[in-house]
Amino acid sequence: MLVAVCALLGAIGGAFAAPWLGTLSRGRSTTGWFARPVVAAVVGVVAAGAAALVGPRAALPATLVVALAATGAGLVDAAAHRIPNAIVLPAYPLAVVGYAVAALIDGDGAALVRALAGGAICWSLYALLAWVYPPGLGFGDVKLAGLLGIALGWFGWTHLVVGVVGAFVLGGLAALALLVTRRARRSTAIPFGPWMIGGAFVGAAWGPAVLAGLLAA
């Protein structure tokens, strides 16, 4: 029931947000990535996934904030190669407050410390990478990484590690596929935000299982 409700509310919110996302992408809001049915479907699925992952726990609102903000940012990044501050920055205080409330309700201060540390670690790592190789990452990626790190840190250190590494694995595989199929060249800019989100999902959902499988291999 909870998953269905979140899916429905997410789909409705996505339909209303579609024109705004299209505006942020500096493109058309009614076609392609930002057609209302497309955004409604994507956001509905993401909201349902977050609800299924967290369940009826106090951390669900904060996790939904991170998941939905990241989804909106990922859609814009895929279409326009930019991650807008208007989506990511307001999600930071909402996520922190949401997880702080969850920590208070659950009596789990350690989870909040992990969340804050995870956000700081991911932000710092991506900032370093963007400084070392500016063509590879933009500062929008840095800000998105910090937001995703907050959620991954809340879930656990293993989730965080797998989520971060998974982003680069998925992004690398996607870039390789585009090169092999000649749909891109080595100089072609490829948006990294969607792969960061994909890696974060893998880390949040299956982090310990993935790591255990790699160690056992």
* DSSP one-letter string for 141-157: HHHHHHHHHHHHHHH-H
Residue ranges in 156-192 assigned as alpha helix (H): 157-180
- The token pair at 63 is 């996790």
pLDDT number for residue 86: 95
pLDDT digits (tens, 9 = 90+) for 90-105: 999 999 999 999 999 9
Residues in the chain, total: 217
**pTM (two decimals):** 0.94
Sole residue written with tokens 């940012």: 73
| Best mean pLDDT range from 99-103, 169-173, 203-207, 212-216 | 99-103
Task: Look at residue 184 and give its three-state secondary structure.
Answer: coil
Reference 169, options 137, 206, 127, 202; nearest CA is: 202
Mean local confidence (pLDDT), 136-144: 91
Amino acid present at 183: R
**In percent, how much of the chain has pLDDT > 70?**
94
pLDDT digits (tens, 9 = 90+) for 148-190: 999 999 999 999 999 999 999 998 898 888 778 777 676 667 8
- Of 6-20, 63-77, 176-190, the one with minimum mean pLDDT is 176-190
How many CA atoms lie less than 13 Å away from 196 in the CB half-sphere? Answer: 32
